[in-house]
Structure 1
Amino acid sequence: MLVGYSSSSEDDGEGAAASPNKKRCSPECQGEGEGYDGCPARKKARAEEQVTKTRLPIPGCLLAMFPDDVDTHTEDSSLHSGRIRSFKHERGNWATYVYLPYNPDEEFRELLEELLAAAGACDVVLTPQEEFHLSLSQTVVLRHHWIQPFTQSLRAGLAHCRRFVCSAGKLKVYCNTERTRTFLSMEVSTGHAQLLDLVRVVDRTMSEFRLDTFYKDPSFHVSLAWCVGDLTAQMTECIEELQRLVDDHEDGPFLLRLDCVELRCRTGNKTFRFPLEP
């Protein structure tokens, strides 16, 4: 995708014959002296100097169109609730993942507050997720110029995928690969086959761009809350007590229902939507 350029024989220097009608520069003209405006080399130097002096600054509105190229990013984990990046940020690299969104209702939020309080009583301080979703890919890195063909490939693959419903009601503890964060989640109990079909579509696009595909035997889940570090053992000790809160919630066991009507792809600060067929 890179474009090259070619130079004419006159720029090669050695081996190029001088045109009989072309005026030669004197040795003085090629030096530091002034007053040789007829010399091509002198004209070129003065032209470049004039362009440098008169070049205008780039308007701020244009810079704002490309935030990934001009934004400064910090690696200070204290500014991100203690979270640590899985990979170092580089300009032009966009963290990307594909998921199904979950829109919580009031009953879910009430249950989540109860779970956080019960975990705190077990000395496990959890932070609720800012948004809730079911992942269908790993987090990968896209170059900025890949975004359009990547999302086009996803849209084409998902064109004939149909909507469905999946549910989750069993709590499970997960820890990320780097062991930097532990999650309290709900594991999917119905809709597993349809989710696998979607993953196969997403994996084909990932393979096109030589990116990591999803896990071989995925455990689909919706993360509810998290904490920094590997606290798998501590959270597992109190998981039965937390599960009782789910099973005894109000009129009966709470069941998280996820209406799978739209896939989304988050890449950097952009979100792309892919509606599924009715």
Structure 2
Amino acid sequence: MLVGYSSSSEEEDTEVCGEDSRKCQEEATINDECPARKRAKNEESVTKPRLPLPGCLLTMFSDELEPQTEDSSLHGGRIRSFKHERGNWATYVYLPYQPEEEFTELLQELLSTAGACGVVLTPQEEFHISLSQTVVLRHHWIHPFTQSLKSGLVHCKRFMCSTGKLRVYSNAEKTRTFLGIEVYTGHAQLMDLVGVVDRTMEEFHLETFYKEPSFHVSLAWCVGDMTVEMKECIQELQRLVDEHEEGPFVLTLDCMELRCRTGNKTFSFQLNS
């Protein structure tokens, strides 16, 4: 009978198929592993804690972040002159003034008198003479901008300037009104500094300072256009300055340092003595 008989060619086919099957099983074992081992490996990858990032990486770009907010209630009702965008840094150049006790006492009298006239003023957080308008710098411009200022100030010398006459100012948008005290000596030296600052502004295609600036120290401010109301009481306020204790109060600045504020950074440049 021919039952169970196979030719030699059929035996070879069966043998080849058996070898292929064993190879397939071995490859499957290598590639997929058994389900239990695969499950254990997955569990290990899930439970294994990740290493924390080094602190230097976390703070690497912190300098590029300028803390800003559009909520005017957090800034005494002040409104931005331009919208904040990430990477844009509000920048201005100025001469600082460190207030003395006599100045602080006079300022409180001025605020009280203005309030009695219906004008509620908020004192400035810091006092200075502006040498530029507020412009916008891109973050990568900050270093070359400040280096340009530094180079331009090489031949500028330290000087004194004085103020004495009160004046009312407002910003271009009429969103804030200021009480300031105007400079009457040192005007020529201030114009020289403005020339240096303007050249740097032009180098970066930014807006320069006013052609005929009224140099002054801003003392206090209020929200909105209160120019008319403030001018109505300016004579009474000026009387406080002119009749202050032993004589007219004179605010004197020792202009030995120019500063540039950009975002949350302040750069200082010493003038030659």
Contact 2:66 2:89 (8 Å CA) reproduced: no
1:114 aligns with 2:109: yes
Q: What does residue 154 of structure 1 align with?
A: 149
Distance verdict in 2 for CA 1:57–1:206, change over 3 Å? farther
Q: What's the counterpart of residue 167 of structure 2? A: 172
Given that 1:68 and 1:91 are in contact with CA atoms closer than 8 Å, whether structure 2 keeps it comes out as no
What is aligned with 2:226? 231
Residue in structure 1 matched with residue 240 of structure 2 by the alignment? 245
Change beyond 3 A, Cα 1:135–1:120: same
- For residues 97 and 138 of structure 1, the distance between their equivalents in structure 2, rounded to whole angstroms, comes to 6
1:68, CA displacement in angstroms? 5.8
Give TM-score scaled by structure 2 length. 0.79
Q: Which amino acid aligns with 1:252?
A: G
Corresponding residue number in structure 1 for 2:136: 141
C-alpha change, 1:88 and 1:249, in structure 2 (3 Å) is same
Identity of aligned residues (%): 77
CA distance in 2, matches of 1:82, 1:178: 14
User: Using the alignment, how far apart are the partners of 1:72 and 1:193 within structure 2?
Assistant: 37
| TM-score, normalization by structure 1 | 0.78
Partner Cα separation in structure 2 for residue 259 and residue 233 of structure 1? 33
Aligned residue type for 2:87: G
Residue deviations 1:198-246 (CA, integer Å, cap 9, x gap): 0000000000000000001000000000000010000000000000000
Aligned positions, number? 227
Distance between the aligned counterparts of 1:147 and 1:96, measured in 2? 9
Bigger Rg, structure 1 or 2: 2
Q: Quickly say closer, same or farther: Cα 1:227–1:61, change in 2 above 3 A.
A: farther
Distance 1:204 1:159 in 2: 14
Tell me how far 1:58 sits from its aligned partner. 5.5
Contact 1:169/1:187, CA 8 A, preserved across alignment: yes
Using the TM superposition, give the Cα deviation of residue 59 of structure 1 relative to its aligned residue in structure 2, in angstroms. 4.7
What is residue 272 of structure 1 aligned with on the other side? 267
**What secondary structure, in the 3-state scheme, does the structure 2 residue paired with 1:215 have?**
coil
1:124-144 Cα shifts (integer Å, max 9, x gaps) = 000000000000000000000
Shift of 1:69: 4.6
**1:83 aligns to what SS in structure 2?**
coil
1:156 maps to amino acid:
S
Cα distance, 1:71–1:263 mapped onto 2, change above 3 Å: closer
Q: Which residue number corresponds to residue 89 of structure 2? A: 94
Amino acid in the other structure paired with 1:242: L
Q: Which amino acid aligns with 1:159?
A: V
Q: Secondary structure of 1:142's match? A: strand
The one-letter amino acid of 1:141's match is V
Aligned residue in 2 for 1:29: none
Shift of 1:64: 3.2
RMSD across aligned positions (CA)? 1.9
Q: Which runs of 5+ in 1 are unaligned?
A: 1-54
Counterpart for residue 195 of structure 2:
200
User: Within 2, Cα distance between the matches of 1:138 and 1:262?
Assistant: 18
Q: For 1:138-187, what per-residue CA distance to the aligned partner results, in whole angstroms no more than 9, with x for missing partners?
A: 00000000000000000000011000000000000000001110000000
Query: Is the partner of 2:208 in helix, strand or coil?
Result: coil
- For residues 106-136 of structure 1, what are the alpha-carbon distances to aligned partners after superposition, in whole Å with 9 as ceiling and x for unaligned? 0000000000000000010000000000000
Aligned AA (1:239): I
2:66·2:264 contact (CA, 8 Å) conserved in 1? no
Cα distance 1:192–1:239, how it changes in 2: closer, same or farther (>3 A)?
same
Deviation at 1:248, TM superposition (A): 0.3
Question: Which whole-Å CA distance do the structure 1 matches of 2:67 and 2:260 have between them?
Answer: 23
Deviation at 1:60, TM superposition (A): 5.3
Unaligned runs of 5+ in 2: 1-49
Distance 1:60 1:227, change over 3 A: farther
Whether 1:217 aligns to 2:212 is: yes
CA offset digits 1:60-102 (Å, max 9, x no partner): 5434343365566321100111011111111111100000000
